[in-house]
Amino acid sequence: MSFADIMYFILPLVIASTVPLALVALGALFSERSGVINIALEGIMIMGGFVGAITIHLLEENAHLPIQTVALIGLLVGAIIGIIFSLLHAFAAINMKANQIISATALNMFAPAFAIFTARIIFGTQRVPIGDSYIITRVPGLASIPIIGDIFFQGAYLSTLLGIFIFIIAVIVLYKTKQGLRLRSCGENPQAADSLGINIYKLRYVGVMVSGALAGMGGVIFVLSFSTSFNATVAGFGFLALAVLIFGNWNPKRIIMAAFFFGFMRVISSTKSVIPFLNDLGLEDEIYLMLPYIATLVVLAFVSKNSAAPRAAGEPYDPGKR
Amino acid sequence: MKKLLVLVAAMVLVLGLSACSKVETYKIAMITDSGGIDDESFNQGTWEGIIDFADENDISYKYYKPLEVSDDAYLEAIDLAVEGGAEIIVTPGFLFESSIYAAQDLYPDVYFILIDGTPHDPTWTTWKTADNTMPILFNEHEAGFLAGYAAVYDGYRELGFTGGMAVPAVVKFGVGFIAGVYYAAQELEVEDDIVFNDDTYHYFGDFGPSDNFKNLALSWYAADTEIIFSAAGGAGASVMAAAADSGAMMIGVDIDQYDQSDTVLTSAMKQLGNAVQQGLQAWLDGEFVGGTSVYKGAANDGVALPMETSRFETFTTAQYAAIFLDLADGTVVVPADYDALVLFLNDATLDIPTKDEVEGTTD
């Protein structure tokens, strides 16, 4: 394959991995900016992916809808389930002032067990099968654009394209609107925000629910993009997304770059046999898989002073504290 | 309110305990290994075999799931099964080897069927199969052979293999697959067209789906691989997704996976149900023969391709019957390890995957 062929082969794969990572990391950003640490992303992704896959499976069997409509409904259901599931975390963290790591860990442990248990009751097996033809060979019109068309619009998934769109919208909401500013203030100095009449509890709920929606949708994107069935796993993408968030220093632009870096490393670790340069290098797959984590550790070690982590993230809101 | 809750909890406990004291016994017991009874592979095949047999003969049965993957936990589950009245215990998987080694002497009156393993002590020094234990081993290499043979006869020339982990059963699948591919190629005299070497031979290191596994398969398909045999349990779903995106095919494993994707050409099946039922039938008839391992291959319906659900275009049922007969009557002896494979093919010019790659000793 020529260099251009390799790029056209690899980049769509990298984008397919980048989008769920970036979207879920952005969800985590919403939650942390509002002041609630949400490490339950893995569990929420599994729940979203699970119910989304069931929805898609049932629609495929019973309704005669266009296949991309089915995918779209599956994504929406995944987002709704993500919201509902994340409410458990929100209630524990915001109303009950519980330790946010513990309640999120509980959700992470609950989700796969619930998925396996329920799938067995419904299907008699823990696997939820979905169709295998959700790829769009050519997006009409857009696919003919030189370079960009080849990378984004040939052999793409609706879920990927939708994910990019939602990411942009979410960033605009968080950084360019009044509501976004208020939400961010809850994670920096909630007492000050409260004194200005902002309802901390409400906005923290919103932050966690947005993270639930994005993570739930991310779970469905994972299933649609990488498998022909849901199998009670999202291969650690929820935790990866947290690493992306930290590596991206709580900043959307950097999150995109971090997700791209993670996605790129994951893709070349498994496709290096078609990249002559890397194939000649002869490094083990694991080296590429390790690199993003090592980079995250290095970043954490050196940049911790300039960390842009929200100052009040992880602290239950106490109006009496100053 | 709190008092009421305590009262309810106490009632539940009392009722629960009294339910336990009612003695029910289950004659056939199965202990699951790390997967559940619905792993669509090993445990499930075994369990379904037990259900069919038990229902047909009106015998009670039950499965026990160990608390964790350890010899002690397995032995505890066996204790529990014996307490529950088990007369014969079926354990699927090589993980049970040392717990059965202990249990067979502990419970000399109970019969054991150990699938895919031979009892040995935890340090792998003493191997002993007691008279009440029947280890059943499968000739996975024969199943892999049939799949490879069929694929080449069906017109596939560029092939790949992905395994979950380089455990003995998976390695044997791969060795047999290579043998089948090149054996068919030699029959058809198309050895020079076959592309199947180290570049398309890989162990994932895991049995669940992942973007990495899909991308790996995509890169092979992009490099002109036409079909991938995936002996990797649930990770096969990622290979199916890659095949669907690339308009290519794959081969499933263990059970008939035709309904999981339109890209499944055929499946290299282990007839777990048959094997378990044969063992149970012997026990029921009072003809249980323990003490030595039983091998299930083509000769005793232990392996097969699901011809009715396969998506072959040119490979016919008659061709399948012919090669199956060759395997069954020993005309063709499929190699089970790499050294035997080299002797079997007997052609040093062939570009087959290397020993390190096949045995998983390299990456």
Domains of chain B by range and CATH? 25-138+271-303 (3.40.50.2300), 141-269+333-358 (3.40.50.2300)
pLDDT-flagged residues of chain A (< 50): none
A155 touches chain B (CB under 8 A): yes
Q: What is the pLDDT of residue B41?
A: 67
Residue B259: closest CA among chain A residues belongs to which residue? Answer: A129
Q: Which of A295-304, B167-176, B290-299 has the lowest mean pLDDT?
A: A295-304
Q: How many CA atoms lie within 13 A of B150 on its CB side?
A: 31
- Asked if residue B363 has pLDDT above 50, the reply is no
Which of A9, A227, A284 has its CB closest to that of B241? Answer: A227
Q: Measure A179 CA to nearest chain B CA, in Å.
A: 36
So what's the ipTM on this one? 0.84
Which of B208, B215, B260 has its CB closest to that of A228? Answer: B260
- Asked if residue B19 has pLDDT above 80, the reply is no
Going through A64-208 in order, the beta strands assigned E by DSSP cover 128-129, 135-138, 154-157
The residues pairing with B115 across neighbouring beta strands, listed in sequence order, are: B92, B136
Tens digits of residue pLDDT in B197-238: 998 999 988 877 889 999 999 999 999 999 999 998 778 899
Q: What is the pLDDT of residue B334?
A: 96
Query: With a CB-CB cutoff of 8 Å, which residues 251-270 of chain B face chain A?
Result: 259-263
Q: What is the pLDDT of residue B228?
A: 97
- Asked if residue B37 has pLDDT above 80, the reply is no
Contact A134, A158 (CB under 8 A): yes
Q: Please list every residue in chain B whose beta carbon sits closer than 8 Å to the beta carbon of residue A121.
A: none
Which of B209, B223, B245 has its CB closest to that of A233? Answer: B209
Q: What is the pLDDT of residue B234?
A: 79
Q: Which of A45-54, A130-139, B16-25, B304-313 has the lowest mean pLDDT?
A: B16-25
Q: What is the pLDDT of residue A238?
A: 95
- Asked if residue B246 has pLDDT above 80, the reply is yes
Q: What is the pLDDT of residue B16?
A: 58
Q: What is the pLDDT of residue B14?
A: 62
A129 touches chain B (CB under 8 A): yes
Between chain A and chain B, how many beta carbons pairs sit less than 8 Å apart?
Answer: 100
Closest to A215 in 3D by CA, of A91, A70, A40, A17: A40
Tens digits of residue pLDDT in B48-85: 889 999 999 999 999 888 888 888 999 999 999 999 99
How far, in Å, are B70, B89, B107, B109 from residue B133 at the CA level? 20, 9, 11, 11
- Longest Cα separation, chain A: 65
Alpha helices in B41-139 (DSSP H): 42-57, 71-83, 97-106
> Are residues A135 and B238, on separate chains, in Cβ contact within 8 Å?
no
Mean pLDDT within B127-145: 93
* Per-domain boundaries in chain A: 14-237
Enter the DSSP assignment of B286.
T
Give the residue from B51, B197, B198, B219 with the most A CB atoms within 10 Å of its CB, the best one to mutate. B219
Query: With a CB-CB cutoff of 8 Å, which residues 61-120 of chain A face chain B?
Result: 116, 120
B43 touches chain A (CB under 8 A): no
Mean pLDDT within B24-34: 85
> Are residues A132 and B244, on separate chains, in Cβ contact within 8 Å?
yes
Closest to A45 in 3D by CA, of A26, A20, A68, A22: A20
From CA A283, how far away is CA A261, in angstroms rounded?
Answer: 18
Mean pLDDT within B87-94: 90
A1 touches chain B (CB under 8 A): yes
Contact A74, A59 (CB under 8 A): yes
